[in-house]
Amino acid sequence: MTKIALIGNPNSGKTSIFNILTGSNQQVGNWPGVTVECKTGHYKKDKTIAIQDLPGTYSLSPYTLEEQVTRNYLRETPPDILLNIIDATNLERSLYLTLQLMEFNIPIVIALNMSDLLEYQGKKIDKEKLSYMLGLPVVPTSALKNRGLDEVIRVACQPLEIHPLDYDHRLESALAEIGQICPHARTRFEQIKLFEGDALALESLNDAQRKELNDIVAITEKIMGDDQEAIIVNERYDLIGQIVDLVVTNNSKGRLNLT
Ligand code: GDP
Ligand code: K
Ligand code: MG
């Protein structure tokens, strides 16, 4: 059995895609202990593929119930493949979640959904460039027009490699040191959460580890001239800005400029 989880921002088209992929064979329940909806089903063209619709979320900081459910799921019962549904008309915002998902060591395929709407807006995303920049397969889809959805599952079922993205080398060395002093923080996600001073992540440390972590963070804040949370947010948005600049072309803007 292969388990594929659909994940993305609210209104990116997860449920629409889930419904098309699973047809009518699906179960709706709640995540354990919370009132967040949990839907599972099987791919209608291959019942050995289980599909799960995760709650919509913009981030994986544990501020909302949806973020907590998603974060616990990724850590405790990781799927074989994450199908990251992106609203192609909101690429910048969507990639903020993608970069976080890439820290979990789970293979990811990007469904560039709403591709019909993007076309209608006169914009284009170079999917080869996007795929190259992220190191992930990218498949344009439209749940509205039922386009690309079998292709996205076909790609997801092929062997996938995981390529973590590198941030500034000063941050990378801090993360490597955090990995050394906190060996239980196995994923890059956990190391970054520790660097940010995330309350949930800090619970797992003893006093000696806390002290060492504080020292690493203080030094990095000093050399990078920013605070721990801002360092991470800025690194992510710098990278996203570079990616968006390279991959999005806006034909409608081009036309407007001529008049
Ligand atoms: P979710 O919040 O991620 O589960 O998103 P939904 O599946 O509920 O979709 C949000 C809205 O976007 C709904 O009105 C859908 O009909 C619409 N939608 C979903 N996918 C597409 C698409 O590919 N193209 C267009 N134009 N609309 C879509
Ligand atoms: K919705
Ligand atoms: Mg939904």
Looking at residue 192, its amino acid is I
CA 89 to chain centre: 16
Intervals of the chain under pLDDT 50: 257-259
* CA 113 to ligand 3 center in whole angstroms: 14
Q: Which atom of ligand 1 is nearest to the CA of 17?
A: 7
What are the structure tokens assigned to 199, written together?
């309350």
CA pair distance 150, 179, nearest whole angstrom? 39
- Atom 24, ligand 1: residue with shortest CA distance: 114
Query: Which ligand number lies closest to the CA of residue 152?
Result: 1
CA pair distance 154, 198, nearest whole angstrom? 37
Can you give the chain as a three-state secondary structure string?
Answer: CEEEEEEECCCCCHHHHHHHHHCCCEEEEECCCCCCEEEEEEECCEEEEEEEECCCCCCCCCCCHHHHHHHHHHHHCCCCEEEEEEEHHHHHHHHHHHHHHHHHCCCEEEEEECHHHHHHCCEEECHHHHHHHHCCCEEECECCCCECHHHHHHHHCCCCCCCCCCCCHHHHHHHHHHHHHCCCCCCHHHHHHHHHCCHHHHCCCCHHHHHHHHHHHHHHHHHHCCCHHHHHHHHHHHHHHHHHHHHEEEHHHHHHHHC
- Atom 18, ligand 1: residue with shortest CA distance: 13
Spatial contact of 221 and 231, defined as CB atoms under 8 Å apart? yes
* CA 10 to ligand 2 center in whole angstroms: 6
* CA 15 to ligand 1 center in whole angstroms: 7
Predicted local distance difference test score (pLDDT) of residue 63:
78
Predicted local distance difference test score (pLDDT) of residue 34:
66
* CA 166 to ligand 3 center in whole angstroms: 31
Q: Which atom of ligand 1 is nearest to the CA of 19?
A: 7
Predicted local distance difference test score (pLDDT) of residue 257:
45
Name the residue of 7, 16, 54 whose CB sits within 8 Å of the most ligand 1 atoms, as the mutation to test its pocket.
16
Predicted local distance difference test score (pLDDT) of residue 35:
67
Instruction: Give the end-to-end CA distance of the chain in Å, rounded to a whole number.
Output: 56
What are the structure tokens assigned to 10, written together?
């609210």
CA pair distance 112, 87, nearest whole angstrom? 6
What pTM was computed for the model?
A: 0.92
Predicted local distance difference test score (pLDDT) of residue 259:
41
- Atom 28, ligand 1: residue with shortest CA distance: 144
* CA 28 to ligand 2 center in whole angstroms: 15
Which is nearest to 58 in space by CA: 72, 71, 76, 41?
71
Binding pocket residue ranges, ligand 1, CB within 6 Å: 8, 10-16, 56, 113-114, 116-117, 142-144
* CA 250 to ligand 3 center in whole angstroms: 29
- The CA dihedral of 236, 239, 242, 248, to the nearest 10 degrees, is -60
What are the structure tokens assigned to 122, written together?
């006169």
- Atom 10, ligand 1: residue with shortest CA distance: 11
* CA 153 to ligand 3 center in whole angstroms: 19
Q: Which atom of ligand 1 is nearest to the CA of 117?
A: 26
